């Protein structure tokens, strides 16, 4: 999928609007200043590095985050309808965590996380339109995102930290310690992490369907030659004949010759 320049700009405007509408001062101003500092990088970022994942195209990151914010707000209403305890977190905390849940994907102050793929084979055969920046020190996406916030003086609550840390749910084994406890006292004290995970899951699934389901319905014929067992290279056939010549049993020879 490709976004137009107008769509990328509109998505960015909505991104900033989400901050201005749902985040209170003085954190709102700090967050806007932070994102404006990296605006060009963030606006054009993909949400993932390969086509098989979601929104792996320029502008895909911001579009994904906007969808997660919208989904989180809708799911808040659904959970409220089913009598979730709304006193345990605020809508600002939910939106803050949604806006910043994938922040670690931007890299750090000096290095972008995703770079255009230079390996033609990996791009064509593996669908990797982007590659990871090897100059960037390794950190998980949640850890890097939280570090970037604190290093720019943007404070976050415990609920926001836990929401960002566990937004991938049990798809990330590191979250088991928070989400798979069998002791009531060590389970999350609010439903916010679950709402955020569901919003992220919903957004990623919809983006997958939009990209891939049409291709499944109308597959493009492969241009690659489909080799069969009869298409054995000449040198392989010669080696096989030489090997078969040393076998005395006609039955075994016929069996191997058919492979």
Task: Please report, in tens digits, the pLDDT of each residue of the chain (259 residues total).
Answer: 889 999 999 999 999 999 999 999 999 999 999 999 999 999 999 998 877 788 889 999 999 999 999 999 999 999 999 999 999 999 999 999 999 999 999 999 999 988 888 888 888 877 788 888 999 999 999 999 999 999 999 999 999 999 999 999 999 999 999 999 989 999 999 999 999 999 999 999 999 999 888 888 887 665 554 544 444 455 545 545 554 455 555 544 444 454 4
CA 48 to each of CA 44, 59, 78, 197: distance values in angstroms, whole numbers, following the listed order: 12, 11, 29, 17
With 0.95 as the threshold, say if the pTM is over it: no
Environment class of 149 (CB within 10 Å of its CB; exposed 0-12, middle 13-18, buried 19+): buried
Tokens 């991938």 -> residue: 168
Beta strands in the chain (DSSP E): 114-116, 130-132
- C-beta of residue 193 within 8 angstroms of C-beta of residue 79: no
């Amino acid at each position: 999928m490709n976004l137009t320049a107008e769509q990328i700009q509109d998505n960015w405007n909505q991104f900033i609007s989400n901050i201005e509408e749902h985040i209170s001062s003085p954190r709102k101003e700090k967050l806007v200043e932070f994102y404006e500092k990296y605006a060009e990088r963030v606006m054009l970022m993909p949400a993932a590095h390969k086509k098989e994942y979601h929104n792996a195209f320029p502008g895909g990151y911001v579009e994904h985050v906007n969808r997660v914010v919208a989904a989180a707000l809708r799911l808040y209403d659904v959970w409220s309808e089913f009598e979730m305890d709304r006193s345990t977190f605020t809508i600002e905390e939910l939106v803050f965590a949604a806006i910043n849940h994938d922040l670690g994907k931007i890299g750090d102050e000096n290095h972008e996380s995703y770079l255009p793929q230079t390996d033609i084979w990996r791009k064509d055969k593996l669908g990797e339109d982007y590659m990871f920046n090897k100059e960037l020190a390794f950190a998980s996406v949640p850890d890097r995102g939280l570090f970037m916030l604190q290093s720019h003086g943007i404070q976050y609550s415990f609920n926001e930290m836990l929401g960002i840390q566990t937004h991938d749910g049990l798809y990330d084994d590191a979250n088991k310690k928070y989400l798979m406890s069998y002791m009531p006292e060590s389970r999350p004290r609010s439903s916010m992490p679950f709402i955020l995970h569901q919003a992220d899951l919903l957004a990623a699934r919809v983006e997958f369907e939009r990209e891939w389901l049409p291709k499944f319905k109308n597959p493009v014929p492969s241009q690659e030659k489909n080799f069969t067992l009869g298409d054995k290279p000449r040198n392989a056939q010669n080696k096989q004949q030489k090997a078969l010549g040393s076998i005395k049993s006609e039955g075994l020879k016929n069996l191997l010759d058919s492979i």
